[in-house]
Amino acid sequence: MNKYLDEWIKSEVDYLLPDQVVWVNGSDEESKIFNNELVKAGTFIELNKQLYPNCFLSRSHPSDVARVESQTYISTKNPDDAGPLNNWRDPEELKSTLKKLMSGCMRGRTMYVIPYLMGPLGSPFTKVGFELTDSLYVVQNMRIMARIGDVAMKQLANDAQDFVKGTHSVGTFDAQNRFIAHFPDENRVISFNSGYGGNALQAKKCFALRLASCIAKQEGWLAEHMLILGIKNPKGKKKYFAAAFPSACGKTNLAMLIPPKSYQEAGWEITTVGDDIAWLRVGEDRRLWAINPENGFFGVAPGTSLKTNPNAIATTRANTIFTNVALNLADQTPWWEKMTAHPPQLAIDWLGNEWSPDLGTQAAHPNSRFTAPARQCPSIDPAWEDPNGVPISAIIFGGRRSKLAPLVYQTFSWEEGVFAGASMASERTAAAEGKIGELARDPMAMRPFIGYNVGDYLSHWLSFGLRSDLQLPQIFHVNWFRTGERGEFIWPGFGENIRVLEWIFNRLENQMTGKKSEIGFLPDINEINFEGLKLTEEIQNELFKIDHNAWREELEGIIKYFQSLGSRLPEKLMEIALRKKQSFS
């Protein structure tokens, strides 16, 4: 037994006061027992065994349905180390507050000790964590999202002190006293009064991004909010791309992309390594290699369908937990908005009430989720659990811009690529909080997940470009969301996005010359395969139009945003912004 682990668990038991402590071993037999307990307690509803074997539906507390960024804290001794994008609290003050709130909170409950791995077994990337929780729902979701139990204990050295320590309690679901607290200096997370998603499944955003980003800076690697996909051309050559998009920009759909029939027949293939998080390290060959540290997918259900993402639908057909979706009473199956062309005539909504289409209410919560094993994805890459990871040839950034950004461009250098990621933005939709069309800046799609000062984070990114020994990925930017005069999307998206990936692939092979613009290298109009798409020549040109006035205004906004990030922002990024603004004058 690791003495540091033993001492920590004993100290937590002493003030949480659970009735019993159960160590999770990760076995299939254990999982069946826990699922049965959850069904008996009414937390799980078993779904149709023939159509959805070993699948369950669960409903969260109505006040506990999403991440709570306003109650998420980065707690460091120096407020500047948390930076302008994080909520800061003094470590001693925050721990004192939490101890008072949580003392005795597990009285009458069982504490489950979940040992878990982030990363494939035996990988140099892999890290060990522990979550102490009073929620069996959390245990069963963590079983899917991470590699848990004995497998993690075997990887923990007896003298190791660098494991991540996580304490979680659902408390009383008091939304006013909800805390998601990170202590980077101690590799520690404490979350209270939430049982849902990234608040409670600490392996995901808390560890794999917020704490891991801090660890990555110290150890010289990157922990990023990125999908990883493989792309193989008709000649059998394969490359791997990592891509970072803000929410509502099609990240999961791209990770599981199914090429149109013409591309499949030609021999193109897309495979999935991960849909949400990438850990990237320098390999022995001086390239960046990446792993997906997760073991499952925690996907947004509404909008996922056989039309938009058939691979995701197929992934959820067994061994899946559905949270806050509707229950179709006709066949005891999960349902959510846009899952099928026609809604069920009678269902139970996410609040547990009878529902029918004529009510005019939503059956599933907009942030309802499925937790499904990654190994079940039809497009899963053969190397998705390779201990060494996969070599990354390109990094892709992207946002939702109706007029500004072209369909695709390649940045001039690593520094310019970091600038593209640092200044990334999306326009708010009607479904998002805030004014429609208003820009939300989201550096590297990591705004809610950087565990330290954003200026230091961007400096860390730039530091890779200062190393002459590295063979770094090329950096690209994409935008699937250009609109026409009536506000309609002019690019078809979804599977057709492989046409853009094809250009990126061929640029890396030096088969496309491109043309130089103020922002980077654009495709020549004949370098994108438009065959089979009903796009006029005018629309094709519009997809790559660079509006100088709009870009000048954009760069003024970027400069103001950079100024708001404080004195730790790298001067190099401001220099690039000013130089680009001058080029559009």
As annotated, the active-site residues are 249
**CA 502 to the chain's CA centroid:** 24
Radius of gyration of the chain, Cα coordinates, nearest whole angstrom: 24
Residue 462 CA to residue 576 CA, distance in Å, equals 13
Residue 585 CA to residue 583 CA, distance in Å, equals 6
Q: What is the DSSP letter of 489?
A: B
Between the alpha carbon of residue 285 and those of residues 60, 334, 472, the distances in Å are 47, 46, 11
Q: Which residue has the tokens 């071993």?
A: 25
Residue 228 CA to residue 255 CA, distance in Å, equals 7
Spatial CA neighbour of 234 closest among 2, 498, 8, 489: 498
Residue 360 CA to residue 2 CA, distance in Å, equals 56
Residue 534 CA to residue 492 CA, distance in Å, equals 10
Angle between helices 571-583 and 414-422 (to 10 degrees): 90
What are the φ and ψ backbone dihedral angles of 336, each rounded to 5 degrees? -150, 165
Between vectors from CA 482 to CA 480 and to CA 488, what angle results, nearest 5°?
A: 110
Helix (H) or strand (E) holding 230: strand 227-232
CB 556 within 8 A of CB 581: yes
**CA 68 to the chain's CA centroid:** 15
Q: Are strands 188-192 and 164-169 parallel, antiparallel or unpaired?
A: parallel
Q: Three-state SS for 126?
A: coil
Query: From the CB of residue 285, how many other CB atoms can be counted at a distance below 10 Å?
Result: 10
Write down the number of H helices and E strands in the chain.
Answer: 17, 31
Q: Are strands 72-74 and 179-183 parallel, antiparallel or unpaired?
A: parallel
What are the φ and ψ backbone dihedral angles of 60, each rounded to 5 degrees? -85, 170
Angle between helices 136-145 and 28-41 (to 10 degrees): 140
Residue 509 CA to residue 232 CA, distance in Å, equals 13
Q: Which two tokens stand for residue 347?
A: 């269902």
Q: What is the DSSP string of 232-296?
A: E-TTS-EEEEEEE--TTS-HHHHHT----HHHHHHT-EEEEEESS-EEEEE-TTSBEEEE---SE
Residue 269 CA to residue 259 CA, distance in Å, equals 7
Q: Which residue has the tokens 């679901």?
A: 173
Q: Which two tokens stand for residue 418?
A: 């970091």
